[in-house]
Structure 1
Amino acid sequence: MSLTAQIVWLFVLAIPIACIAWTITHEEIFREPREYCVRCSREGKTALKRKFFYLFTCEYCFSHYVTIFILVLSGFKLLLPDWRGYILSGFSLVWIANVYMSLYNLVRIDLKKEKLQAKKEEQELEG
């Protein structure tokens, strides 16, 4: 695969990784299981149990496991055609996916801020 194609694959494969990791660790649809995981990660009797449940609450941690799943499905290797290509692609995908999630979070914060400001201005006009 050419270097250009590899870079395109890198940035495209990071999208579903970011989407899956963000959805499971932040969105309302997974709130109840996430709250259970948060409780177990704080109150677990063993360090192993606490760490296992923590990975479902942290988008960075969870993105590593999603990346492994995506690599198994896609067989994507970056720069090198052997196992080292998997290592490079794994860490690169995690990094790009987390950049995507950070950008998404910034956009969400800005949208919430604008919504709150508009609501405040609307209340001031009505009052």
Structure 2
Amino acid sequence: MQEEPIYWLFILAIPIACISWTVTHEEVFREPRTYCVKRSREERKLIKRKFFYMLTCEYCFSHYVTLFMLLITGYQLYLTDWRGYLIAGFSLVWIANIYMSLYNIIRIDLKKEKIIVKKEELAIEEEEKERLIS
């Protein structure tokens, strides 16, 4: 058994989640993502469609990022052979996707709050305009 602390699982999942989310959702990668979405819908060969789809889905893409992180860190979980990499890989993907889900929930809540505040501001402006007119 390996003596690698379990907290590394939660620490390594942070950059995996960050990279996966940024590439698959944020504006900075909009153009390549749009290209990949188009190719994932229009490619004739199934393998090509699936390849491009995997570049646009945060869950799918997190597997690529996890593989890269395992290669550069050598992190293994529980066992010190290939099985340790396998366990670590799936565990990192799982934790990273929990992080991304939580982040998405927070973003939705923040967006909803902004919309509510904007509606309230518009209502107040309308009331002020009506008061000035009358």
Band of TM-score, shorter chain: over 0.9
Give a deviation string over 1:9-66, Cα, whole Å, max 9, x none: 0000000000000000000000010000000000001101101100111000000010
Query: Shift of residue 2 of structure 1?
Result: 3.2
CA distance in 2, matches of 1:45, 1:92: 34
What amino acid is aligned across from residue 20 of structure 2 in structure 1?
Answer: A
- The residue that corresponds to 1:69 in the other structure is 68
Q: Superposition RMSD on alpha carbons, in Å?
A: 0.8
Q: Please state if 1:44 is matched with 2:32.
A: no
CA distance in 2, matches of 1:37, 1:81: 37
- The residue that corresponds to 2:55 in the other structure is 56
CA distance in 2, matches of 1:29, 1:67: 21
Give every structure 1 segment of 4 or more consecutive aligned residues whose post-TM-superposition deviation is greater than 6 Å: none
- The residue that corresponds to 1:27 in the other structure is 26
- The TM-score with structure 2 as length reference comes to 0.91
Aligned identity (percent) is 67
- The residue that corresponds to 2:77 in the other structure is 78
Map 1:101-120; keep pairs closer than 5 Å: 101-120=100-119
Secondary structure at 1:89 match in 2: helix
Secondary structure at 2:91 match in 1: helix
- The residue that corresponds to 1:124 in the other structure is 123
Q: Highest CA radius of gyration, 1 or 2?
A: 2
